[in-house]
Amino acid sequence: MTDSSQARTNIAALLAILALSAATMVWLFWRFPMITTLATVAILLGLGVCARVARLTDSDMTDLKQTEPGV
């Protein structure tokens, strides 16, 4: 029973954090629309650049596999 109550607590905490985040974003957008829009676009562009760099620098693990067992 403690596992299910802990899972419910984790879900409730996640929903509370998401609600607080959404409320903060709406308040910021209501109060400072232009700065919030520019900051959001800049952050999303930064995440996109990081994703592309991560994809480019990801090494292929098939090169490390040996096809024949060592003698």
pLDDT tens digits, one per residue of 57-68: 887 655 555 566
**DSSP conformation class of 28:** H
**Residue numbers of the domain that contains 19:** 2-54
pLDDT digits (tens, 9 = 90+) for 16-38: 999 999 999 999 999 999 999 99
Task: Enumerate residues 6+ apart whose C-beta is below 8 A from 29.
Answer: 36, 37
Q: Is residue 27 part of a domain?
A: yes
Domain-located, residue 45: yes
pTM for this structure? 0.59
Give the pLDDT band of residue 48 (cuts 50, 70, 90). very high
Give me the pLDDT at residue 59, please. Answer: 74
**In total, how many domains does the chain have?**
1
Length of the chain: 71
The overall average pLDDT reported for the chain is: 87
Considering the domain boundaries, does residue 50 fall inside one?
Answer: yes
Does residue 44 lie within any of the structural domains?
yes
